[in-house]
Amino acid sequence: MTEAPPLPRHVAFIMDGNGRWALARGLPRLEGHRAGMETIRGLARHLGKRGIPYVTLYAFSTENWRRPADEIRGLFRLMAQSIKKEARALHENNVRIRHLGRTEGLDAKIVNDIAEAVELTSVNTGLNLSIALNYGGRQELTDALRRLVAAGVKTEDVNEALINAHLDTSELPDVDLLVRTAGEMRISNFLLWQSAYAEYYATPVLWPDFDSTEVDRALADFAHRKRRFGGL
Ligand code: IPE
Ligand code: IPE
Ligand code: MG
């Protein structure tokens, strides 16, 4: 009898390469973002089927505000259009949606749409899908420390579990597999604390081309990793 290969509990994706995908086709960058949204739909369905309980997507970083205003505007218009629609479909599939990141700085309308999607799906027991939007790992840690200080926590009471409990990801397990598309070999301020022992998988495939076959490739790669967590 062959044993089932080990599956990651929590897979996080740095969805990169939308712009390059569009550029290669002579299209405006926004068309790349549009195609990237389509990828998400297939991905959530596929990972749910494969039995992965936690999936986190990096949709917009705190550093992405440095982009040209018209790209940011277009990107948020696209996200606003899909949140409502996708939330309903995800809800029907028993998916629970969470938001990671700061709400300050975001448009009130999109904050409201996100809150509604989170609320609508809050009792679901299937795939846990977290969207990192206006998210930065350093900002998240800064906010957590501010809350601890404001609560007057005593020095001797500060420990890893307490810090963890004050992060946006307090309800999620650590990241097991961190996937980055489009070839870059960097973490770009994503889940710094939570990825301390994540297995890293980088592929040159651009996000809009990252289909089920590519997902399975990443999972198969993970299955062969020997995780030691500092031990032998
Ligand atoms: C990822 O694609 C999407 C976001 C960061 C919002 P990019 O827009 O970074 O695509 P490239 O890196 O320019 O190809
Ligand atoms: C990381 O991609 C952020 C998201 C995928 C949302 P970027 O394209 O912004 O990363 P850098 O700037 O190349 O590091
Ligand atoms: Mg990029």
Q: Which of the ligands is closest to the CA of residue 37?
A: 1
> What's the rounded Cα separation, in Å, for the pair 203 and 14?
11
Please tell me if the CB atom of residue 18 comes closer than 6 angstroms to any atom of ligand 1: yes
Distance 21 CA to ligand 3 centre (A): 10
Rg of the chain over Cα atoms, rounded to whole angstroms, equals 18
pLDDT at position 5: 77
Atom of ligand 2 nearest to the CA of 19: 8
pLDDT (tens digit per residue) in 69-121 = 999 999 999 999 999 889 999 999 999 999 999 999 999 999 999 999 999 99
Separation between Cα atoms, residue 226 and residue 232, nearest integer Å: 10
| Cβ of 58 below 6 Å from ligand 2 | yes
- Name the stretches of the chain with pLDDT < 70: 1-2
**Which of 13, 14, 15, 16 for a ligand 1 pocket mutation test, highest count of atoms within 8 Å of Cβ?**
16
138, 139, 117, 137: which is closest to 129 by C-alpha?
117
**Residue 4: predicted pLDDT:** 75
Do 149 and 23 meet the contact criterion of CB atoms below 8 Å apart?
no
Residue nearest atom 8 of ligand 2, based on CA coordinates: 16
Task: Report percent pLDDT > 90 for the chain.
Answer: 96
